[in-house]
Chains A and B, each alone.
Chain A
Amino acid sequence: MTTHVPGDALVSLNAVNKHYGQLHVLKDINLQVRKGEVVVVIGPSGSGKSTLCRAINRLETIEGGTITIDGKVLPEEGKELAQLRADVGMVFQSFNLFAHKTILENVTLGPIKVKGVSKTAAEKDAMALLERVGVGHQAPKLPAQLSGGQQQRVAIARALAMKPKVMLFDEPTSALDPEMINEVLDVMVQLAKEGMTMIVVTHEMGFARKAADRVVFMADGQIVEDATPEEFFNNPKSDRAKDFLSKLLTH
């Protein structure tokens, strides 16, 4: 549980709909995330939680409804969209570090090319961020030379370098070996404590209990429950959530 007080709605989804052909992946999604809030999205695979996360910075287009970030409706394409994306940090399941750039360049590229920060200032910032996530000594290496856990921490640093208003995490630990999951979660917990607004799609219930302000449970493209972690884990209301949790807890 975090101690900060959440403020106004920073991310707001209103009646968002999306289809993949016949499949209705997002059904009338309404979700408000306030400033400083940590929202964990959980649910069975295929429930639409990753699509929801990717729709927030328009890596997936939506067919109906609106998504606003800090009061601005998400633009369709072009310069305005790029500008808005710079305010929304994204961490992917498969890290997606730029394979031809060093660790340091991965973190400095955005600030230099998108924000026009000078190279020296960007490098100073980047080194501080890399130290913070515990991979400062890896700065001159290429991504392929790092472990999965290290790469994901670099990816978090890369997103933070843009000084985003909100961070999206799309199953950030699902591609990691078990012993590397914690090093990434520790960084995320720390980030949550510092008051970052976060939307986290994950299967890590421990993280949801420890760091979330709210747990959103999705199934079949709908938000089935939206509650505090204690409420959700101790006293789930819907049968769908009860079923989901019972399957998790048996192992």
Chain B
Amino acid sequence: MDVIIENLPLYWEGFLRTLFLSVVSGIFALILGTLLAAARVSPVAALRGFSTVYVEVLRNTPLTIAFFFAAVVLPRLGVKFEQFEVAAIIALSTYTAAFIAEAVRSGVNSVPVGQAEAARSIGMKFSQVLSLIILPQALRTVIPPLINILIALVKNSSVAGAFFVLELFGYGRQLANANGDAVITVLLGTAFFYLLLTVPLGILANTVERKVAIAR
């Protein structure tokens, strides 16, 4: 227990880093994922094709490969970063966007097709149909699965620790190495700080789910 209390500032630092990685990657992933979902249902075949390939490739490969590409392959192609954190954010957001695209697409499909037909029949453009009619109605069904994806994102951000980014897991590993006699306590402490982020998100998902159920 002493190990955790003595190193509380370090844990806190790691916690904030993880929070930062998760929030920034989460925002990028939400934007990219929604655009991918829009492309997936668009009338342009090329956009649909691109989105499908993107989602299937990213969703069906391990996150470590996305990290490897962002941290090792991109710099070789001439994309240089000052910090590895940028690579981590790229990897996390491109990877998570694939899952978000799938969740948003299933939400879009849950809105009856007549809603889109009615919107088109009063002269709305595709972008208006999507942003004014479909997405607002899809949102309520999409929020619970989106929160689950964000919980996974928080946990996935620990992979960044293996790619020279010091976040919660990275600091946890350092501490474990430095305190060989208290590895279990150190790791329990690390897990506790992850729970501090993910449990509230889970509670939020349940609350939203219940509210949506009542509103129907």
Asked whether any CB of chain B lies closer than 8 Å to the CB of A251, the reply is no
A85 engages B121 (CB within 8 Å): yes
Asked whether any CB of chain B lies closer than 8 Å to the CB of A94, the reply is yes
Choice from A79, A94, A100, A159 contacting B122 with Cβ under 8 Å: A159
Using known A-B contacts A77-B43, A113-B128, A113-B132, determine if residue A99 contacts B115 with beta carbons closer than 8 Å.
Answer: yes
B121 engages A90 (CB within 8 Å): yes
Choice from B114, B115, B123, B136 contacting A83 with Cβ under 8 Å: B123
Using known A-B contacts A77-B43, A99-B137, A113-B128, determine if residue A86 contacts B123 with beta carbons closer than 8 Å.
Answer: yes
Q: Mark B94-130, 1 if CB is under 8 A from A, else 0.
A: 0000000000000000001011011111111100100
B97 CB, nearest partner CB in chain A, Å: 26
Asked whether any CB of chain B lies closer than 8 Å to the CB of A118, the reply is no
A85 engages B123 (CB within 8 Å): yes
A109 engages B121 (CB within 8 Å): no
Asked whether any CB of chain B lies closer than 8 Å to the CB of A97, the reply is yes
Count of A-B contacts judged by CB separation below 8 Å: 63
Asked whether any CB of chain A lies closer than 8 Å to the CB of B133, the reply is yes
Closest residue on chain B to residue A144 by CB atoms = B216
B118 engages A98 (CB within 8 Å): yes
**Complex-state Cα separation, A74 to B115, whole angstroms:** 22
| Contacting residues, chain A, for B119 (C-beta < 8 A) | 98
Asked whether any CB of chain B lies closer than 8 Å to the CB of A219, the reply is no
| Contacting residues, chain B, for A85 (C-beta < 8 A) | 120-123
Choice from B114, B132, B137 contacting A92 with Cβ under 8 Å: B114
B122 engages A97 (CB within 8 Å): no
Asked whether any CB of chain B lies closer than 8 Å to the CB of A158, the reply is yes
Asked whether any CB of chain B lies closer than 8 Å to the CB of A110, the reply is yes
B43 engages A96 (CB within 8 Å): no
Interface residues of A in 72-107 (CB under 8 A from B): 77, 79, 82-83, 85-90, 92, 94, 96-100
Closest residue on chain B to residue A155 by CB atoms = B118
A114 engages B124 (CB within 8 Å): yes
| Contacting residues, chain A, for B133 (C-beta < 8 A) | 98
B115 engages A59 (CB within 8 Å): no
Interface residues of chain A, those whose CB is within 8 Å of chain B, are 57, 59, 77, 79, 82-83, 85-90, 92, 94, 96-100, 109-110, 113-115, 155, 158-159, 162
- 8 A-B pairs whose Cβ atoms sit less than 8 Å apart in the complex: A59-B120, A77-B43, A79-B125, A85-B123, A89-B121, A98-B115, A159-B121, A162-B123
